[in-house]
Structure 1
Amino acid sequence: MNRMENEQKILIVNQYQEKLSSTPEQGQKEQSIQDFLERNTELFSEALTYKNYFHQDILISKCPVMDLKSDYAYLSKKSDEWKIVFGELELPDYNFFRKGSGDFTSEFNHAINQIRQWKLRIKNNQNEVFNFFKLLLQPESMRENPIVFEFELIFGRSEDKNKTAERLRLIQSVSQSEGIVIKSFDTISNDFMGRRENTRKNVISYNGKSIRYKHLNTRPTWDFALYNSEQLIVSPEQRKVLVSWGYDMNSWDLGKKLGQNGKVSPENPFEGMLRKRNISSTKSN
């Protein structure tokens, strides 16, 4: 990492810490923090992903599965399996433990219980969950692969969480027994500073039928090879940005597939990339 990159990371973390300590209008802080994270998506850890990447470099904002709505979700894949991670943001002002006690606060218990209910609903409605995410399970040839689900809770501050070894043990026990990754808001920035590579992700709104960019934070790699203009909705402002990046949007409007460079490809470029990768893997074996 060069000096400029490190200074940029420090700037992001300082702004993030200011956001955590801010006092916006009542009821607006959680959303204010989520907005900041969605515009600085390199803060999101890739620890739960396969091969350290988000599928298509996409983060789903306010993911509405059935009657549930997680604050965010993302996909990751390997050759024989999909992973879908659901995340919940609570307030950094919340405490894990009641004052002067080893008992968890009502806010922490409520957050754990909410995710517990998600897990049960998803377990009992896997066909409905699959149908919701089906469009994002690309390429189509991998849609029959099994899906595993993981759950992440971001809650409170490290000062409270790490106060004693006993507190850490109790939180770890809940994490393991409930199958929920539990992090403080400070863990996000600490992990970010400790990673050598941090990739930006595009933030989307997704309803199971179509995709809309909420924040176009980086150049899409395969989106315009995989989706047509009815599946991927692009605003006029986003279209201007994409054209300035070299994407042949007129051809895409006509139903043509675009490669990584945003230019028209004679075949589905995503499938072509996978075929070349499989040939290379066969030769190496």
Structure 2
Amino acid sequence: MDDLEVRQLRYFVAVAEELHFGRAARRLGMAQPPLSRAIRELERGLGVRLLDRTTRHVALTPAGEVLLREGRAALDAVGAAARRTRHAGRPTPALRLALKADFDAGLLPAVLAEYQRTEGLPPVEPVLGGRGDQAVALRDGRADVALLPGPVDAADLDFEPLVTETRVVALAVGDPLAARADLRLADFAGRVLPDGSPAEQDGTGTATTTGFRPRDVAEIFNMVELGRMVWFLPGSLARRHPRPGVAYRPVTDLSPFTLSVAWPRNSRSRAVAAFVRAATGVAGSPVGAQALGA
């Protein structure tokens, strides 16, 4: 057996993730006996045992661990291919831009204007998402190009850094730290960021709370005003959102914010190339410097 069918991979991945045939069958919307037969047929075809199973226990073998890893990647690639194909067949083309609202360093209006100077390009269609969603949208075929805040996982993506700027902390105006001119990360011990992680770890820690998590910038600002959290944000974003209940202060050892434009490594799209040229051109121009307050 040299070829694997998508159906077989989907069945196996469900069982391997659930480690329970009954739950996997319910997840797949099928009965358990045909699922069990399909896995046995897959093992016979590959000539290896993928699962160690008893009446009470299901576990992956070393071969099964390999197929789970490779199978997930293959199913992701198939899904992305289907999305890109459907998009290419749309009667009205569009360049799908993944971004996090407000995290464009103030460059987006100028970038769009520059992009639109070239005739014959499709319009830009925003694909809004939360933190970390942009690279996922590129990889799974929901977006063609992205503005990525923060570090870029360059696996199967190409990217160009656009701007790097300092970040500041947003605190309630009545917070004792707001009265200080010299702040360091250690001063925020015991405080949390919007994702629930410890503030003194600069967003590199894991969430320690399970309470309310704000969904957008407006909710974050409300929670900061109430003293429920602090927030580290790019200086350009702070300048665009002055609020009477929020104080912005520099933090000496806070890492900078970097914004990049990114696209799938195998992209051959004229529109993507035009958008990348527009983004890098604007970022290096006086317009970009003005957006950053330089």
The two structures have a TM-score, normalised by structure 2, of 0.22
Flag the structure with larger Rg: 2
Richer in helix (by share): 1
The two structures have a TM-score, normalised by structure 1, of 0.23
Which one scores higher on RCO, CA 8 angstroms, separation ≥ 6? 2
